Amino acid sequence: MSFLEKLRSELVDIVEWVDDSHRTLVWRFPRYHNQIKNGAKLIVRPGQEAIFVHQGKIADQFGPGTYVLQSRNLPVLSTLAGWPHGFDSPFKAEVYFVATRQVTDLKWGTPNPVMMRDPDFGPIRVRAFGTYTIKAVDARALLTELVGTDSSFESDEISELLRSIVNSEFADLVANASVPVLDLASNYQELSGQLREAVRRRVREVFGLDVPQLYIVNVSLPAEVEQALDARTSMNLVGDLAAYQQYQIGQSMPVAAANPSGGLAGAGVGVGMGMAMARQMVPGTDGQMGGGVPSAAVPPIGPAPAPPAVTWHIVEQGATVGPFAYGQVSEAITAGRIRPETLVWTAGMSGWVAAAQVPQLGQLFAGAVPPAPPPPSAG
């Protein structure tokens, strides 16, 4: 290979960028020490711009299309280089490709709660998160302010700065929007538009970037505030608290009736307490709770009704005997008529059970006197 052929092979004849990263904003063509020869082909694909930089100065800029690099296509570069013999020899220049398409799937969120003043709850803290997209609209400003001499500039390198700008503008927005926190969800679209405009004004004029889309996905409250709201909602659903208490007491009475061992007595006490609470919750004529309810509205509360007497049946010599009151059963156990193995039954029991296995009766056998033994037979 001759010297001229070797020199010709080291010259760049096609300048292009095939981008498959979807995150790269700016990419510098890897020229190394090669020179771009006169008549080389420049390919700029849709969603790209190409910028020539010569000795630190931004020269010519190309939009999408295919170009043959000649002096008429590079007027600024020709002036900067000042070729004394025309544009026939190879030249050195850095070529930067700028992605002008949207970079999507970028997320933002408030790292700390944002304080706002709510007309219903007063000062309250909220968190928010969402998504946004960016797009390069001023390649010269982007190169000057952010890229510098980097060979590749990714969107992740500026995402932290952009999130900080979004969070700052969001804090100002919710502080001045005067939208109650319970109505924020119904105003997401309007608030998202206002937030996008505020953010794009800041990043466009400084960094040459646009924010085509920005959305508020969710605004959330602290966990303890959400629990308080749930409790408030439940109380609103209950409505008349006194009527609800009476309903609850009525529902509990069948359960208490199924337990014969003092259940009805407890139910009676519960009814009395429930009626007393209902009377206290009803506002009086003076606007205060209780004390002003006419007797016709709430009946007077008397002593709880006595529970019905519990009676027992026993099996004696294969036959059912009874009913017996509790005192009669105690006397029969003392007399030895009812033994621990004697089968007994009372209302509420599912079947016959040995007397010693019934808690109310089992304790009576501890102090019972065993029956006298039969007299010895005459021998």
Question: Percentage of the chain surpassing pLDDT 90?
Answer: 16
- Please name the CATH architecture into which domain 103-225 falls: 2-Layer Sandwich (3.30)
Q: Of 59-73, 79-93, 223-237, 282-296, which range is least confident?
A: 282-296
The pLDDT score that the predictor gives to residue 184 is 83
φ, ψ of residue 150 in degrees (nearest 5):
-65, 140
CA 40 to each of CA 91, 139, 209: distance values in angstroms, whole numbers, following the listed order: 11, 23, 31
Identity of the amino acid at 60: D
220 pairs with which residues across the strands? 127
Average pLDDT over the chain, rounded to an integer = 76
Alpha helices in the chain (DSSP H): 3-9, 75-81, 139-142, 156-177, 188-207, 223-238, 241-257, 263-281, 326-335, 359-362
φ, ψ of residue 188 in degrees (nearest 5):
-60, -45
* CATH code matching the domain that covers 312-365, chosen among 3.30.1490, 3.40.50, 1.20.1440, 3.30.420: 3.30.1490
Mean pLDDT along residues 2-18: 63
For the chain, the domains span 3-99, 103-225, 239-281, 312-365
User: In angstroms, how far is CA 117 from the centroid of its own chain?
Assistant: 21
Please state whether beta strands 12-15 and 36-44 pair in parallel, antiparallel, or not at all (unpaired).
parallel
More confident residue, 228 or 302: 228
pLDDT digits (tens, 9 = 90+) for 220-270: 887 777 777 777 777 666 666 666 666 667 666 665 555 555 444 444 545
Mean pLDDT along residues 51-62: 86
DSSP 218-282: EEE--HHHHHHHHHHHHHHHH--HHHHHHHHHHHHHHHHHT-TTTHHHHHHHHHHHHHHHHHHHS
Query: Is the confidence at residue 133, as pLDDT, over 90?
Result: yes
CA gap 112, 166 in Å, rounded? 13
Confidence category of residue 6, pLDDT binned at 50, 70, 90? very low
pLDDT digits (tens, 9 = 90+) for 321-372: 878 888 887 888 887 888 888 888 888 787 888 888 887 777 777 665 555 6
pLDDT digits (tens, 9 = 90+) for 170-205: 989 888 877 888 788 888 999 999 999 999 999 988
